[in-house]
Amino acid sequence: MKKRLSADPVRLKHHGKRIAMSAARYFLLIGIGAVFLYPILFMLVNSLKDVQDLVNPTIEWLPSHLYLENFGRALYTLQYERVLPFTVLYVAVAALAQTVSCAMAGYAFARHEFPLKRLWMVMLIVAFLIPAQVTLVPKYLMFYKYGLTGSPLATWLPALLGQGVNSSIFVLVFYLFFAGYPRSYDEAAQLDGAGRLTVFFKVALPMVGPAIVVSILFSFVWFWNETYTSSLLLGSEFRTLPMKLESFVAEFTSIYQSSSSSNMATKLNESLRMAATLLVISPLMLLYAVLQRRFIEGIEAAGLTGE
């Protein structure tokens, strides 16, 4: 009985430490979550305000009523119904092409020996360190010479050849994944008569599912947000949603403020910009919601952080 009584304070002390650690952990996670969610909530709340609520200093987080006309005007200015399908197709093809080429390159580095292998690996890293703006002019001149400017092929072909946005990262990720499972799996398939491509597609790729999800999702986001190079290569013939967002002010002004109308609802304001921004990033949020579980598994296995 005395032993139980003497042990109770020790047990209570450890129990108190666990509660304190759990409270600190949840406090930290809630704080980090608030930092990331605040911009989204700010854009959502302000996009639902009309002009009167926007200029009213007493209304901050709860609009007096939901004003959806901002999204209607933003949809019309962005030409959302026409531009969204092209943007999704343009980015999806580039992301898939980059994933396939980087997976093949990573498998070659992990499973095969070839001359100057280490030199090629160093050049791969150096290519990542060189800013894209440095090679933009020669890249544009090359594509212009071959008649590829003003076409999505100017983005799709480099992605298919492992020269997409930050391709070096994905080659290294696939290299680490392919080097992480036993060679005996590939050798067993080759003994059964499988060729190199069969081994790659039927044995190797199923083993690196998390890396594929990470590569597709990161490639999709990076190609989606990349506007500097894309606007130069695509020209004025093709425009993606982020490009339309960059010129949102000018296009909205030309559509709604070309006349001398004094209607405040047709004046450009913060609510309209927030609505347009939410419409542009909503496909990325939907993609993350669908692939959330696989994406987190791939991030934990690959050790990557988002940008």
| Residue 264: predicted pLDDT | 54
The helix-helix angle for 167-178 and 80-111 (nearest 10°) equals 50
SS3 163: coil
Where are the domains positioned within the chain?
2-47, 69-302
3-state DSSP of 102-129: HHHHHHHHHHCCCCCHHHHHHHHHHHHH
| Residue 2: predicted pLDDT | 46
Find out whether 228 and 140 touch, Cβ atoms under 8 Å.
Answer: no
Give me the amino acid identity at 144.
Y
Task: Locate 108 and state its tokens.
Answer: 């070659």
| Residue 9: predicted pLDDT | 67
How far apart are the C-alpha atoms of 180 and 139, rounded to whole Å?
A: 35
Question: 66, 69, 47, 95: which is closest to 282 by C-alpha?
Answer: 47
Tens digits of pLDDT across the chain (307 residues): 444 444 566 666 666 778 878 888 888 888 887 888 888 888 888 888 888 877 777 777 788 778 888 888 889 888 889 999 999 999 999 999 999 999 998 888 888 887 888 888 888 888 878 887 788 888 888 888 888 888 888 889 888 888 888 888 888 889 888 887 777 777 787 777 777 788 888 888 888 888 888 888 889 999 998 888 888 888 777 888 999 888 888 888 877 765 545 555 556 778 888 888 999 999 888 888 887 776 666 555 555 444 4
CATH code of domain 69-302: 1.10.3720.10
